Amino acid sequence: MLVLPTLVGVWGPRSKRRMEFILQHCSRKEVIGNEDCRESYIKRNCYMVDQASYLVAVYDDERNLRSGTMQCVRYARKKQVPVILIHPDTAVINYS
């Protein structure tokens, strides 16, 4: 899911190569939103959850940080989409 493909232009060389590799090997590409704003990212997160059978996220649920990942996890829970969380520091996996 891309919010704004032109943002790739401001990334460093390593990130650009990684994105190019991912795009070459993905089975489907979707561009959600046409500007770099909060609403485009929220729209992208909702679209991903609405299409998903479950959500896998690298996220520390106990720290409760305000982030796009947090918003995506909360939206999935609200929609009763099963959530699998991988802790970013310990790699402990939790299911909810």
Note the pLDDT of residue 76: 97
* Average pLDDT score, the chain: 86
Note the pLDDT of residue 2: 67
Structural tokens at position 17: 């190569």
Distance CA 14, CA 29 (A): 21
**Residue 10 gets which letter from DSSP?**
G
Note the pLDDT of residue 1: 61
Cβ–Cβ under 8 Å, residues 61 and 94: yes
Which pLDDT tens digit goes with each residue over 43-66?
Answer: 889 999 999 999 999 999 887 777
Residues 35, 48, 31, 5: is their CA dihedral positive or negative?
positive
Helix extents (H) in 1-96:
13-25, 38-51, 68-78
Distance CA 47, CA 82 (A): 15
- Full-prediction pTM beyond 0.85? no
* Percent of the chain predicted with pLDDT > 70: 86
Distance CA 96, CA 90 (A): 18
* Percent of the chain predicted with pLDDT > 90: 42
Distance CA 46, CA 24 (A): 24
